[in-house]
């Protein structure tokens, strides 16, 4: 009897596993919610309402303005896209006025441009915006509908449901998506509705059924929101960090860079911290009007390479110094690493002194590339070096593996602050394999 139960349980786990081969590095793209919410007033606000035109506009920008080549390939619809009623066959359908061509046509538009289409659903009676949700008896129908439309990703929210419905529904949707035969990436909001932490949240199970999952509340267009989210993740890094890896990612929510709530330094901070967390990089902004400064941050090749490191290890906070500087670290492929120095101060740029040996780096001479300024420096592990960090800003370094002095092209051992100089990026950081 016990053996039979064990075999059944093992088969159940295998059946539920999300073996779709997708998102081996954190996904990148654009998502509507934070910037556009549930704006459905296409008569008064035609450029910004949730409609096929909005998503086609963003697809055009991704494909024409250099985003796609950097990895930003998902164009994701969020809430408020559907009709208030299912069709006569019980299937979800797009609002006919705002999406006259239908979702399948929109998916083709994306695919023709080398992009992918994401869509939104809810594991409950209604979506958060009050549109039709996915009840337990509708899971297989909705999964097949999304596959028939050519959808590439599903974000499944959890409004208007309860703990037991979510516990049954989220794994069932994973199985249903796999059963369609179409590879559809699966974003689960399940842990965010259960407090984000064990024992209510089982991160081993999430890694078996979801490609990514929302652990925490929605991001808002403010620095306070960015800070509260990142603080939660790093406070709980020993719990949530090990759950992440190729094909399964913690999701601290969207990048709000290019909107209204962040300064330039704060925008750099969000980008750097999200890269350290191996977080999905889904922008929620207006790519039609984005400033050159915001674009430069979001298109920074060095940070994207760190974010997309194929090893897929989520980084952690090493120090929270009493002077107001935090130090974050992420191990990277080929024995490289990333360091971020983040300032919680609000007075003036702070000159922070540290050595790599104090951060547990091994003995050796290191080359470091500062990703925002595009400068390279060399430093011995025991030598103190100084970084100047602006209030609510960051200094982010790509740290190459150590080399012996005689192999470092004649560079002498450094004493005191590292000397940084401008350097060509493509010669500084090896490309992602």
Record the tokens describing residue 422, joined without a space: 């401008």
CA distances from 171 to 137, 154, 209 (A): 14, 13, 6
Helices (H), 194-343: 203-209, 223-235, 237-240, 264-276, 292-298, 301-307
Active site residue 221: no
Give the torsion through C-alpha atoms of 9, 15, 18, 20, to 10 deg.
150
Active site residue 157: yes
Given CA atoms 412, 417, 419, 423 in this order, what sign does their dihedral have? positive
| Rounded Cα distance, 99 and 288, in Å | 20
* Other C-beta atoms lying within 10 Å of the C-beta of residue 326: 20
Residue 183 near residue 141 (C-beta atoms within 8 A):
no
Residue with tokens 């929270």: 320
Q: Of the residues 157, 286, 309, 326, which is catalytic?
A: 157
Task: Kindly tell me the burial class for residue 282, based on how many C-beta atoms sit within 10 Å of its own C-beta (0-12, 13-18, 19 or more).
Answer: buried
- CA 101 to chain CA mean position, Å: 30
Given CA atoms 396, 222, 295, 62 in this order, what sign does their dihedral have? positive
Record the tokens describing residue 173, joined without a space: 């949707």
* Other C-beta atoms lying within 10 Å of the C-beta of residue 119: 25
Q: Of the residues 60, 65, 148, 218, which is catalytic?
A: 218
Which residues have a catalytic role annotated?
A: 157, 218
């Amino acid at each position: 009897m016990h053996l039979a139960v064990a075999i059944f349980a093992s088969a159940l786990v295998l059946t539920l596993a999300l073996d779709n081969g997708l998102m081996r590095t954190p996904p990148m793209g654009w998502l509507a919610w934070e910037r556009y919410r549930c704006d459905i007033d296409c008569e008064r606000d035609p450029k910004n309402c949730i409609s096929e035109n909005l998503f086609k506009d963003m697809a055009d920008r991704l494909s024409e303005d250099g985003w796609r080549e950097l990895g930003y390939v998902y164009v994701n619809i969020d809430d408020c896209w559907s009709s208030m009623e299912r069709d006569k066959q019980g299937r979800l359908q797009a609002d006919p006025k705002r999406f006259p061509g239908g979702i399948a046509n929109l998916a083709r538009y994306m695919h023709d441009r080398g992009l992918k289409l994401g869509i939104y659903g809810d594991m409950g009676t209604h979506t958060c915006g009050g549109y039709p949700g996915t009840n337990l008896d509708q899971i297989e129908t909705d999964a097949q509908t999304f596959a028939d439309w050519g959808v590439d990703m599903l974000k499944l929210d959890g409004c208007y449901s309860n703990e037991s419905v979510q516990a049954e529904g989220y794994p069932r949707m994973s199985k249903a998506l796999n059963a369609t035969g179409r590879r559809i990436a699966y974003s689960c909001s399940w842990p965010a509705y259960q407090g984000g932490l064990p024992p209510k949240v089982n991160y081993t199970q999430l890694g078996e059924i979801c490609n990514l999952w929302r652990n925490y509340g929605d991001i808002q267009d403010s620095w306070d929101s960015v800070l509260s989210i990142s603080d939660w993740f790093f406070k709980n890094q020993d719990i949530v960090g090990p759950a992440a890896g190729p094909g399964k990612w913690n999701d601290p929510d969207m990048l709000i860079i290019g909107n209204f709530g962040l300064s330039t330094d704060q925008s750099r901070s969000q980008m750097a911290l999200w890269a350290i967390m191996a977080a999905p990089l889904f922008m929620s902004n207006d790519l039609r009007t984005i400033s050159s400064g915001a674009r430069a941050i979001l298109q920074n090749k060095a940070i994207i390479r760190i974010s997309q490191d194929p090893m897929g290890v989520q980084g952690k906070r090493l120090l929270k110094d009493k002077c107001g500087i935090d130090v974050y670290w992420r191990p990277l492929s080929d024995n490289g690493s990333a360091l971020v120095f983040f300032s919680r101060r609000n007075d003036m740029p702070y000159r922070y002194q540290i050595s790599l040996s104090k951060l547990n780096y091994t003995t050796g001479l290191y080359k470091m590339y500062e990703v925002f300024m595009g400068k390279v420096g060399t430093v011995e592990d025991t030598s103190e070096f100084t970084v100047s960090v602006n209030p609510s800003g960051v200094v982010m370094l790509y740290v190459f593996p150590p080399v012996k002095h005689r192999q470092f092209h004649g560079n002498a051992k450094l004493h005191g602050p590292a000397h940084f100089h401008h350097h060509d990026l493509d010669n500084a950081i090896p490309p992602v394999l």
